[in-house]
Amino acid sequence: MRLFERLLSVGAEDIDFSPQERGFIEWYEFLLNPRRLRGSDFLMRWSQGVWSERRIIQAVQETEKFFAVPYGPSSVAPEDIRALEIYFERLDKAGLGRSKRPDVLIFKSSVQGEVDALIRTIGGPSELPFTPEDDERLRELLKVAILAVECENSLWKAKRMPQYGLALKPQKRLGGKPGLRKGAVSPTLILKEEDRELLQAWQDANGIPVHIWHVFYDAAFGISLDRAQELIRDGYILPESQVFQAPSGATTKKTIYRIYYQHAYEVGNTTQEPELVAKYVEDKNGHILPYVHFEGGKINLSSETLQLLDSYANEKS
pTM of the model: 0.86
How many other CB atoms are found less than 10 A from the CB of residue 280?
11
b/e map 60-82, b = 16+ CB within 10 Å: beebeebbbbbbbbbbbbeeebe
Q: DSSP string spanning 179-195? A: E--TT----EEEEEHHH
Question: Which pLDDT tens digits describe the chain residue by residue (317 residues)?
Answer: 566 666 666 665 554 433 333 333 333 344 444 344 445 566 777 777 888 888 999 999 999 999 999 998 776 777 676 777 778 778 777 666 566 889 999 999 999 999 999 999 999 988 888 888 889 999 999 999 999 999 998 888 999 999 999 999 999 999 999 999 998 999 999 999 989 999 999 999 999 999 999 999 899 999 999 999 999 999 999 999 988 776 666 778 889 999 999 999 999 998 888 888 888 777 667 777 777 778 888 999 999 999 999 999 999 87
The full 3-state SS of 207-236, as one line of letters, equals CCCEEEEEECCCEEEEEEHHHHHHHHHCCC
Number of domains, the chain: 1
**Cα 186 to Cα 41, 102, 259, 298, distances in angstroms:** 22, 25, 10, 23
- Running DSSP on this structure, what letter comes out for residue 77? S
Domain ranges, residue 67: 3-316
**In CATH, what number is assigned to the domain containing residue 264?**
3.40.1350.10
